[in-house]
Amino acid sequence: MQMKIKIGTFWILFIAFAIHLQAGNPDRQGEAGANELLLNPWARSAGLHTMNTSWISGVEAMRLNVAGLVRIPKTQILISHARYLQGTGVNMNAVGLAQKLGENGAFGVSIMAMDFGDIEVTTTDQPEGTGATFSPNFFHLGVAYSHIFDNKVSVGFTFRLISESTADLSAQGAALDAGVQYVTGENDNFKFGISLRNVGTPMRFTGEGLSFRGTNPDGQINYDLSFDHRSARFELPSVLNIGVSYDFHLDARNRISVLGNFTSNSFSRDAIGGGLEYAFSEVFMLRAGYRYDLGSANDLVTNSVYSGVSAGVSIEIPFSKENESRFAMDYAYRATSPWSGTHNFSLRFTL
């Protein structure tokens, strides 16, 4: 029965992948909304350009491949802050919890919010500002479940609520993520992962901000009426990731992991990339990655914001030699074009 579930899950994701490839088209770039769904607030995976589809685990897995949620000892709490596109004043804040349920299941919940700072209100009559300010509210709530079979194959699903709003405009939506991870090899060296993200309902902005005063259209009696603009719907930026990795255990303390990843975007160019992670006694880790957009060499817009290099470091402090409880600090930097890069900081508690 378990083998049938594994095979069925694999084929479902494979078919979804085939459909996704046909749907993807660089000419549709810019047509999707809610692009903050593609942003990653977590530092450990950001140091690899969010390409560790095959081995990501715990709370961070809910942002890339939810199948890895179950790969924790018991409980994990993650708190993160990111300075998005340094120089813009935009920040990301996130918190998440993952809890093991029995031997083979795990439940997770995560919240991410964006901070745009105070933006001046301008009008056609006062283009230099009215003296008032506003700040958009972008908020995501994700609830996930992951299950592992025989410690080799894990699957998972995330349901995410999306909210974007200002004082007089708002849009809400929902999205579903799914993923699978497969681990094999003498020491579980080889890992494979595939995830499909942001498949959900179209969104549309509504609210008083779209209303205006206009003259009575029949023209017989001169008086004003309130009208509402009808905004267009926009799709979510669905994306599919396929990743592989291999762990080289040089000795009892030193490990080097190599990964490769392919990303298929429905509303932009596809991307490929690779990365390395070095670990000493699983206490100190260095990582770096490189991401390249396919077809960008022949495009007027040569690169997306996150094409290029990324790097990160982690320090993990064990609480006890008797179990896997530990405290960790993660940092990541991703080069951006333009602006001055994105910095991610995370605190991780694994119990």
Q: Which tens digits make up the pLDDT trace of 114-142?
A: 999 888 888 888 888 888 888 899 999 99
Cα separation of 66 and 177, whole Å?
A: 7
Average pLDDT over residues 193-217: 87
Average pLDDT over residues 323-351: 92
- DSSP designation for 233: P
Cα separation of 301 and 287, whole Å?
A: 28
Banded model confidence at residue 84, pLDDT cuts 50, 70, 90: very high
pLDDT of residue 20: 47
Average pLDDT over residues 268-294: 93
Q: pLDDT for 52-70, tens place per residue? A: 999 999 999 999 999 999 9
Interior/surface letters 288-326, b for 16+ CB within 10 angstroms, e for the rest: bbbbbbeebeeeeeebbebbbebbbbbebebeeeeeebb
pLDDT of residue 203: 93
Pairing of strands 170-184, 308-318: unpaired
All domains in the chain, ordered by first residue: 2-350 (2.40.160.40)
Could you identify the residue written with the tokens 């589809």? 53
Q: pLDDT for 171-196, tens place per residue? A: 999 999 999 999 998 888 999 999 99
Average pLDDT over residues 274-287: 96
pLDDT of residue 148: 94
pLDDT of residue 23: 42
